[in-house]
Structure 1
Amino acid sequence: MKYTAEHFHLHYIPQYRLLIKSDFLEDTMVIVDEKQEVVALYSYPSEFPDPAALKLLGLPFADVSISLPLESFMLVPSEVYSQRQVQQYHDFQDGKGVVQEYALPMEGITALYQYDHLLFKRWTAIFPQAKLFADFQIIFALVEQHVLNTASVLGVHVKNKKVEMYVFQGKELQLYHDFDVDTADDLHYFILNVRSTLGITGLFDKVLLSGVAATDPFAHAVRSYANELVFLQGNSALYAEDAAVQTKIESLHIIAEFPSCVS
C-alpha cells in the first residue's frame, strides 16, 4: 500500500511523527501529523523496499518510533530477579543482541528480551535517535484496565504469520506465548490447546484483539471464545481521510501508543 495525503508537505517533516512497524515479512511506515491524522503510509515486503519509502527514510524526522520483532523473550518473577545475575539469564537467550529488561509492576514480573539482531542493526543505522519498543510493552500497558474487574481474559495480538497469545485470570497472568499461525483454523487450534492446558472450559469474559482490523478472519474466529470482543487500543486513535488507509491503520493502533504507554 502506498498513500500520501494531498496536504502532506516536506517542510513539515520536523513536526511529523514517523511510526515504523518492522518484521521479517513486511515493513510499514506511517507519518502522522499533530492531529493524529495519517498523512502518509507505505507498506511493502521487507525484502523489497519501496523506492519512494526509501527516500522518506533519509528525511530529518525528529520523532521516530520503531516496533521491532524479538529474537528471544523471557518473563521472570520480579521478586527473584536480580540485575546482578543478568548474565545467567543471557545464557538462556538465543539471540546475539544485548538483553533488555522491562519491569511490569502490576503483573509482578520482569521481561528480558532481545530485539532481532539484523533488524536492530538496520534500523538503528538509519535512525540512531529512534525510540525502539516491542509490542508486548504496549499490550501490557493497555490490558490493565480490562483485567482489574474481569474474571478471565484471552488476548490475541496478530503479527503477520505469528500470534502472541496471553491469558489473565483476574490480575494474574497465566500465559504469554507466541505461535506460528497461517489461517483461522490454526488460531482455533492454538486457542483450544491453551484452554485445555489451563483447564478452562467455559467462555472467557473478554477477548482482547489487536494487530488486525474488524473485518479480518481472525476477528471472526475469536468471537466464539468470549462473552465480549474488545479491540485493544489506547487514546492515540489514528485516522485517515482515505477509507482504505483507515481500514489498514485499524491494525496499527498498537504502534501509535508509544510513547504514552512505555516509560
Structure 2
Amino acid sequence: MVTGKKTDLDRYLEHLDHPATVHLGILLQATSYTLCFSTIDRDAEMHIYRESLSDSRLNERFSTIGKDFGSVTVYSSSKEVTLVPDGLFDPSRKEEYLTLIFGQGRRKVASTHIENLDLHSIYSLEDEVYQELMGFFPQIKVKHASDPVLTQAWVNQSFSSDHLFRLHVLDQQLFAMVFKGKELRLFNVFDIPDDTDLVYHTLNIIHGMRVDHAQAVIVISGECSDSDSGHKLLKTYCPRLQYLSGPVDSQGIGEFSLTHYRYCES
C-alpha cells in the first residue's frame, strides 16, 4: 500500500499506462476527499491520497486526471443514513425515508442494495459534488462508507454464532453495527466529538445487547488509533477490542483502510 500527497499523485497518474484495469474509489468527507487506486488484481498494491475538499480544488484535481478508469465509485460519509429491508423498500420513497428520520433538508438521496443482508442502504450525498464528479466520470457508482463495512462484517461472521460489535469512525461520527451470527441486530450513527463519547456509546450498545463488556468482541476501523485516549479507555473496559488500522501519512492523519471498500467494487 502506498500513501502520498499531490506530487506523488501526479507522478502516479503520469505513469499510469493501463487505466482501464484500475478502480478509483473516492471517499467524500466533511473537509477532505481520499482517492484510492487499486487494480483488478485484489492482492496488488494500492495507492491512497488525501486532499482538502473545495469546489475549486475538486475541479482542479479531477480535471487533470482525465483517465478512462475501469470503474469509479464515490463513497458518502454522511451521518444521514438508514437501512430498509428489501421487502419494505420502495425506491420512489427514498427521500421520504430520510425526511422522516432526519427532517427536511436540501440533499441528494441515493441508495445501495446490500445483497447479502437483504437490505437497502439509503443515505444523503452532496448534490453539487456528485454532479461535478459525474461530469468527470460518467461511469460513477455511489455507495455509503458503511456499506462495505457491513458486508465485510457479514462475511467475517460466516462461521460464528457470537455477537460482533463492528465500529467505524469517520468525521467524529461513530457508525455502529451489531451482528449475532450473520444476523444484523443493530445499525446506528452517533456523534462523538469527545473521546469519552466513543466509550459511552459503545458500552451502552454492549449492555443493551446483554453482553459482558469484558467478553465483547469489538472490531473498529476508520479514523482511529490504539494510541488515542478514548480508545485506550475503551480497551480497559473491552480488552477484546481489535483495530483495523489504515495507513498514516507524513502529517499523521489516520486514513480508513480502503481495502474494506473492495467488498463493494463491481
* TM-score class, shorter: 0.7 to 0.9
Structure 2 distance, partners of 1:160, 1:122, is 22
Aligned length: 249
- TM-score normalised to structure 2 length: 0.73
Instruction: State the distance in 2 between where 1:82 and 1:55 align.
Output: 34
CA distance in 1, matches of 2:63, 2:48: 10
Deviation at 1:5, TM superposition (A): 7.5
How far 1:177 sits from its partner (Å)? 0.9
What's 1:224 paired with?
236
1:8 aligned partner: 12
Letter in 1 for 2:98: Q
Matches within 5 A, 1:40-79: 41=49, 43-47=50-54, 54=61, 57-63=64-70, 64-70=72-78, 72-78=80-86
Contact 1:155 1:209 in 2 (8 A): yes
Shift of the alpha carbon at 1:54? 1.8
Q: 1:128 to 1:187 in 2, by over 3 A?
A: same
The one-character-per-residue Cα deviations of 1:191-222 (angstroms, maximum 9, x if unpaired) are: 13323444444334311111135445154344
Once residues 112 and 16 of structure 2 are traced to their aligned partners in structure 1, the CA distance between those partners, rounded to angstroms, is 35
Mapping 1:1-263, distance limit 5 Å: 2=5, 4=8, 8=12, 10-12=14-16, 14-15=18-19, 16-32=22-38, 36-39=44-47, 41=49, 43-47=50-54, 54=61, 57-63=64-70, 64-70=72-78, 72-78=80-86, 80-83=87-90, 86-88=91-93, 90-94=95-99, 96-106=107-117, 108-148=118-158, 149-212=160-223, 214-217=225-228, 219-232=231-244, 244=249, 251-253=255-257, 255-262=258-265
2:121 aligned partner, one-letter code:
A
Please give the alpha-carbon distance, in whole angstroms, between the structure 1 residues aligned to 2:133 and 2:234.
34
Please say if residues 69 and 116 of structure 1, whose CA atoms lie closer than 8 Å, have aligned partners that are also in contact. Answer: no
Identical residues among aligned pairs (%): 16
Deviation at 1:260, TM superposition (A): 4.1
Distance 1:147 1:11, change over 3 A: closer
Distance 2:151 2:62 in 1: 34
Unpaired runs of 5+ residues, structure 1, are none
Shift of 1:93: 2.0
Q: Equivalents in 2 of 1:2, 1:230: separation in Å?
A: 29
Instruction: Quote the Cα distance in structure 2 between the aligned partners of 1:246 and 1:13.
Output: 30
Deviations 1:93-115 (A, max 9, x none): 23543442414434x43333343
Aligned counterparts of 1:181 and 1:8: Cα–Cα separation in 2: 36
Counterpart secondary structure, 1:120: helix
Distance change in 2, residues 1:226/1:144 (3 Å): farther
Query: Is the CA contact (8 Å cut-off) linking 2:168 and 2:221 kept in structure 1?
Result: yes
- Does the CA contact (< 8 Å) of 2:73 and 2:142 recur in 1? yes
Unmatched runs of 5 consecutive residues or more in structure 2: 100-104
AA of the residue aligned to 1:166: M
The answer to which of 90-99 and 174-183 deviates more is 90-99
Q: Equivalents in 2 of 1:36, 1:230: separation in Å?
A: 25
- Greater share of residues in helix: 2
| Whole-Å separation in 2 of the counterparts to 1:77 and 1:30 | 30
Change (3 A) 1:21 1:2: same
Going from structure 1 to structure 2, the CA distance change for 1:227 and 1:81 (only over 3 Å counts) comes to same
Q: Bigger shift: 115-124 or 44-53?
A: 44-53
Q: TM-score, normalised by structure 1?
A: 0.74
